[in-house]
Amino acid sequence: MTDMTKAHLTRRTPAVRTRYHHGDLANALTREATALAREGGPEAVVLREAARRVGVSATAAYRHFAAHDELLYAVKMQAHEDLADTMDEALRTTELPDDPGQAAIQRLLAVGRAYVRFALTEPGLFRTAFCRIAPACAGQESPLLEAFCENVGSFGILVKALDALVATGVLTPERRAGAEFPVWSGVHGVAQLLQDGPLACLPTEQRDDIRDSTLRLLLRGLTA
Amino acid sequence: MTDMTKAHLTRRTPAVRTRYHHGDLANALTREATALAREGGPEAVVLREAARRVGVSATAAYRHFAAHDELLYAVKMQAHEDLADTMDEALRTTELPDDPGQAAIQRLLAVGRAYVRFALTEPGLFRTAFCRIAPACAGQESPLLEAFCENVGSFGILVKALDALVATGVLTPERRAGAEFPVWSGVHGVAQLLQDGPLACLPTEQRDDIRDSTLRLLLRGLTA
DNA sequence: TGTACATCAGTGAACGCGCGTTCACTGATGTAC
DNA sequence: TGTACATCAGTGAACGCGCGTTCACTGATGTAC
């Protein structure tokens, strides 16, 4: 657990209430459900348990969420927000070289490393951020995809990092076009394989190597 | 459903038995459980339903599998085998240019495309191949990881494709070292994002573009 | 300022579900003599 | 070749589990007059 962890997510609300009306139940439920996701991934997001932790009957949740899926969806969005926060934090705290081009490269690497770090230090939230909810593509356009198209969240941070590479002349505009998806794929893939997949049991050192060589390969592919 | 689909996986065994002893129950259960995984992913692998489809009591399964997890694990291995078969099939059926270096490149691309195609045409099996079973890293070294270290299955095919790049002089031995993991990451990531993730709802054409540009980026990173 | 009443946000009990798993059992098989 | 018996591979009934969800309800709130 790191300093980037939001305080409101770690604080465990005591399950005692003074007033009959909670006043902020939807947020409280989302918060506790997110804590469940952090502890055990999407499978652990149990409506009844979230209500229990808030100190409210399970039925009360239905005043604020139509069904369990809606609560899980809120948690999923929160997990994406946390991921983006981690990447933002990494950008702010990374020391950069003076050379603008080198600085842009270091920023892209920092963003990628933060993505993988989030997957490994917050596996429950990472898995929840990318979990399936209901049949995929049910509503044609997912809000998540729309969000990505508006370049917000983790995707937006990646987009800006790539733009900075173009601005500093490290990356040509032709190579830049559409490059966010391949880069995202590489970073997401290594995060997934190291966190959940067949590489999860490797020693830390080797996993760091794999992460770094993946980022270097992507960078070389961009700037070659 | 394509021709690479194994016959024994599609044939639905009628749930009638003549003999009291089945004779091959472990395999029959694995086969039906794999069919369930194909239809609905790892969550759909239900021991009781597999037994029902074989035409046997649920209890009978416990003569062959210690618990549900053991059955799911067998299905997971089968799914990995199917993935590898798809990639092998792609290698065999891809037309290659005369130039050996170009041929090696085309083989790598074919292997990557087959990986993504499997994810998209057999999402249930793909998700099962990479699903979590029990606490990760429970037994220190997972059999799956060991298999990968022996370069069998999909990983082995990737390793050979990279070796061929070296043999034909397209890839330097220095660049070759440890390259399987970054390349695998890129391919796995794009498969995941397109199949399950935020990019799943994109039109087919755009998804093909993303797949191809990812493979090209990886190749450029290798050979730059 | 006080009161009536619609509305909102909670409650507790209950239901059905289908799963994984266990139990005591029985039918089939194969080997020793 | 026949028989006794250990062993293997099935059976059906039952259990507990905890979930999501519904029901008819009640306590709190705020607004019209």
Could you tell me the pTM of the whole model? Answer: 0.91
For residue A144, what pLDDT is reported? 75
Residue of B nearest to A213 (CA): B182
CA A73 – CA B71 distance, rounded (Å): 30
Specify the range with the lowest mean pLDDT, choosing from A65-79, B20-34, B119-133, B206-220: B20-34
Q: Measuring from the CA of residue B60 to each C1', which nucleotide is nearest? A: D10
Q: Is A16 on the interface with B (CB under 8 A)?
A: no
Residue type, B101: G
**Average pLDDT over chain A, rounded to whole?**
89
Q: Which of A104, A115, A130, A107 is nearest to A184 (CA)?
A: A115
Q: Which of residues 149-208 of A touch B (CB under 8 A)?
A: 155, 178-179, 181-193, 196-202
Å between B21 CA and C32 C1'?
Answer: 24
Q: Do B141 and A183 touch (CB under 8 A)?
A: no
Q: Find the Å distance, CA of residue B98 to C1' of nucleotide D6.
A: 67
Residue A26 exposed, middle or buried by CB count within 10 Å (0-12, 13-18, 19+): middle
Nearest to B198 by CA among A196, A136, A62: A136
Best residue in B217, B218, B222 for a mutation probing chain A (most A CBs within 10 Å): B217
Among A26, A30, A114, residue whose Cα is nearest residue A72? A30
Asked whether the beta carbons of residue B188 and residue A187 sit closer than 8 angstroms, the reply is no
Is-contact A199 A207, C-beta < 8 A?
yes
Q: Roughly how many angstroms between the first and final C-alpha of chain B, as a whole number?
A: 38
Nearest CB partner across the interface for A178, out of B140, B148, B213: B213
In A, minimum Cα distance to B190 occurs at: A185
| Tens-digit pLDDT profile for residues A84-112 | 999 999 999 999 999 999 999 999 999 99
Alpha helix segments (H runs only) across B122-203: 123-129, 143-149, 153-167, 173-176, 180-195
Contacts of B171 in chain A (CB under 8 A): none
Considering only alpha carbons, which residue of chain A is nearest residue B148? A198
Q: How far is CA A143 from the centre of its chain?
A: 15
> What distance in Å separates the CA atoms of residue A112 and residue B163, rounded to the nearest whole number?
28
Site of tokens 């070389």: A220
CB of A224 within 8 Å of a chain B CB? The answer is yes
Q: Which two tokens stand for residue A184?
A: 């995202």
3-state secondary structure B31-99: HHHHHHHHHHCHHHCCHHHHHHHHCCCHHHHHHCCCCHHHHHHHHHHHHHHHHHHHHHHHHHHCCCCCC
**pLDDT digit string, tens, across residues A45-73:** 999 999 999 999 999 999 999 999 999 99
3-state secondary structure A55-109: CCCHHHHHHCCCCHHHHHHHHHHHHHHHHHHHHHHHHHHCCCCCCHHHHHHHHHH
By percentage, how much of chain A surpasses pLDDT 90? 79
How is residue A44 written in tokens?
């652990």
Q: Is B40 on the interface with A (CB under 8 A)?
A: no
Among A127, A209, A159, which Cα is nearest to B182's? Answer: A209
pLDDT of residue B141: 56
- Distance (Å, whole) CA B142 – CA A60: 43
Backbone angles phi, psi at A56, to 5 degrees: -140, 155
- Beta carbon of A58 within 7 Å of strand D? yes
Query: Residue holding tokens 């099962």?
Result: B128
CA/C1' separation A21–D27 (Å): 9
Classify burial at B186, counting beta carbons within 10 Å of its beta carbon; exposed 0-12, middle 13-18, buried 19 or more. Answer: buried
CB-nearest to A145 from B190, B198, B214 is B198
Higher pLDDT, A206 or A16: A206
Phi first, then psi, for residue B218 (nearest 5°) are: -65, -45
Asked whether strand D has any atom less than 7 Å from the CB of A63, the reply is no
Length of chain B, please?
224
Q: Burial, A121: exposed, middle or buried (Cβ in 10 Å; 0-12, 13-18, 19+)?
A: middle
Cβ of residue B15 near strand D, that is under 7 Å? no
Residue B153: how many other CB atoms lie within 10 Å: 21
- Contact criterion met (CB < 8 Å) for A185 and B182: no
pLDDT tens by residue, B70-101: 999 999 999 999 999 999 999 999 999 999 99
